[in-house]
Structure 1
């Protein structure tokens, strides 16, 4: 089989490897589609050690495919099943998430268990739509940590795949007051297509725009603050956190999804006085994955249209360059087998 191997900064190679064979607890998946993720690009540009992508490893973790072999002890999964695989549990350890092997034509899934690390897809669902399940689940997990309810107002920072996923997840569950903040007009246009309200902070003051959309709320000292109930950060800019401390109304929440690396400084007194909350969001649960799959099967849902380009496996290097440099390409996908 052919497999993409990470060899270092700007060095990924397609090599021949043996086709894996399933042990009694495992399955083998013929991978059909794999999306390129921001963490893949981090390794490509800056090195992979700090995010768990090691030299010489098989990479790719946003993948869907068809089961070709099932171990004798595996229950509920059959050859021919169309599946999404939770990459954080594909190789027995969450530390292997980014090296889950989604850019290999055949992938061994260890200790396969239905609705734990393997999730069935409808056979009628195209792989072109299903390939967005992983980033969709990331965004859905971020919003689900907030236990969102109808009537609440949400601000999402970032119109990349995960920010758009959070927005879509909220809108699909019937929450209409969702604003997406970004500087890219094309991506904001897509957010608007999903049904979100949009703010381009290159052309509009953020504070003014949020007051316009959501009105004011109040702090403990009865000072006017932004009327939004919750914020989901899919960008990682420190100013969005400090703005939340300065502007968030009493009881507001802020979910950190983005892997920002810059330290953030704020006065804890305002966090305490207004009972503000910071929540970290990592990967997803089985419930988040099932919600993502359910949403994708709704053909009126535009979120899967984030896929901007397809490349064959042998052109993975070119695909990485496209994802790395073309800001209009929201999600680049490798057709691993076709």
Structure 2
């Protein structure tokens, strides 16, 4: 098989490797489409060791495909099934790798992926016939956002602010909409990304010159807090940008009993005011990865005809042009989600 191999910063090669074979408890999946993740781009530009992508390894973890071989002991799955996987549980604990390494070195940039101890609904998920591979390839990033929305414990009538209109921020929009939430403001500094947010049904605001707090107030009115302070009338804020000011901007302007869900990876620590967290009874939660239930939620969301998350796919490249696809994915101003098509 042709396998995409990560060899270091801006070093990717296509290598011929033996096609994996399934043991009695395992599955082999032929990859049909794969997405380039932000961690893949990070490894390509800055090195992969800190995100579990090591030189000389197969990599990639966002994909959909078809089971080409299945072990005799595997139940609930069969050859020919259209599937995606949970990359953090595709191998057993006996392999000695941590979850980050297992996820990011799944091998989705190769023609075939091996799943040890394949279990339906746990590490392998059958896609409904009505869900195309073109849209289904977004299952993994949508699962990330679905997990953040799930732990926010929303009822469906809340108002939500999303920082960041990249892949995860726009996935958060879809996940919020799946919960029935329609009042969504998305903040970013890219007009092209914000236009996608608009097409998905959110209110978009370019915060390049600031002014987001006043814009939120103009849209949803002013809420008066416990100490008679003016607050934004947002019930949940979802951080998909990872910028240092976001945490304190939330604390300073949040209304009583609202929540901040941090999905983005922050590169710097920030000081916060515990007093205002106490006074406003705020909730700050971190959201890491996803569970099998989040993956099932993502699949159901994508299968809903009203879901417009497919708008985030900006470029599609054949597998033979993997290096070119990575260069495109690094151009954040002109791409959101870059997809590899193994049929081209």
> TM class by shorter-chain length?
over 0.9
Deviation, 1:272, is 1.8
Deviation, 1:277, is 1.5
Match of 2:99 among 94, 102, 125: 94
Partner of 1:163: 169
Does structure 1 retain, via aligned residues, the 8 Å contact 2:196–2:311? no
Deviation, 1:39, is 0.5
Partner of 1:45: 45
Deviation, 1:123, is 3.0
Match of 2:196 among 184, 190, 194: 190
How far apart are the structure 2 equivalents of 1:170 and 1:111? 33
Once the two structures are overlaid, the 10-residue window that deviates more, 28-37 or 255-264, is 255-264
Q: Which runs of 5 or more residues in structure 2 are unaligned?
A: 93-97
Does structure 2 retain, via aligned residues, the 8 Å contact 1:183–1:202? yes
What whole-Å deviation, never above 9, does each CA across 1:16-57 have from its counterpart, x for those lacking one?
A: 100001111110000111100000011111111111111111
How far apart are the structure 2 equivalents of 1:275 and 1:173? 24
- CA distance change for structure 1 residues 161 and 326 in 2, over 3 Å: closer, same or farther? closer
Does structure 1 retain, via aligned residues, the 8 Å contact 2:313–2:337? yes
How far apart are the structure 2 equivalents of 1:228 and 1:78? 46
Alignment pair present for 1:314 and 2:320? yes
Partner of 2:249: 243
Does structure 1 retain, via aligned residues, the 8 Å contact 2:74–2:118? yes
How do 1:286-297 residues align onto structure 2 when only pairs under 5 Å count? 286-297=292-303
Partner of 1:301: 307
Does structure 2 retain, via aligned residues, the 8 Å contact 1:219–1:250? yes
TM-score under structure 2 normalisation? 0.95
Deviation, 1:337, is 4.2
Once the two structures are overlaid, the 10-residue window that deviates more, 296-305 or 32-41, is 296-305
Alignment pair present for 1:145 and 2:163? no
Partner of 2:95: none
Deviation, 1:204, is 5.6
What whole-Å deviation, never above 9, does each CA across 1:51-104 have from its counterpart, x for those lacking one?
A: 111111110100100001111111100000000111111133523111111111
How far apart are the structure 2 equivalents of 1:337 and 1:118? 22
Deviation, 1:326, is 4.7
Partner of 2:76: 76
Alignment pair present for 1:177 and 2:183? yes
How far apart are the structure 1 equivalents of 2:251 and 2:74? 49
SS in 2 for 1:244: helix
SS in 2 for 1:145: helix
How do 1:183-332 residues align onto structure 2 when only pairs under 5 Å count? 183-202=189-208, 205-332=211-338
- CA distance change for structure 1 residues 17 and 86 in 2, over 3 Å: closer, same or farther? same
SS in 2 for 1:108: strand
Does structure 1 retain, via aligned residues, the 8 Å contact 2:130–2:303? no
How far apart are the structure 1 equivalents of 2:73 and 2:281? 50
What whole-Å deviation, never above 9, does each CA across 1:182-228 have from its counterpart, x for those lacking one?
A: 11111111111111111111256111001112222233312121111
- CA distance change for structure 1 residues 326 and 254 in 2, over 3 Å: closer, same or farther? closer
Residue correspondences, number? 338
What whole-Å deviation, never above 9, does each CA across 1:209-251 have from its counterpart, x for those lacking one?
A: 0111222223331212111111000000011111011111111
Partner of 2:27: 27
Alignment pair present for 1:121 and 2:130? no
SS in 2 for 1:325: coil
What whole-Å deviation, never above 9, does each CA across 1:254-287 have from its counterpart, x for those lacking one?
A: 0110112012122222112211121111111222
Q: Which runs of 5 or more residues in structure 1 are unaligned?
A: none
How far apart are the structure 1 equivalents of 2:224 and 2:155? 20
Does structure 2 retain, via aligned residues, the 8 Å contact 1:30–1:337? no
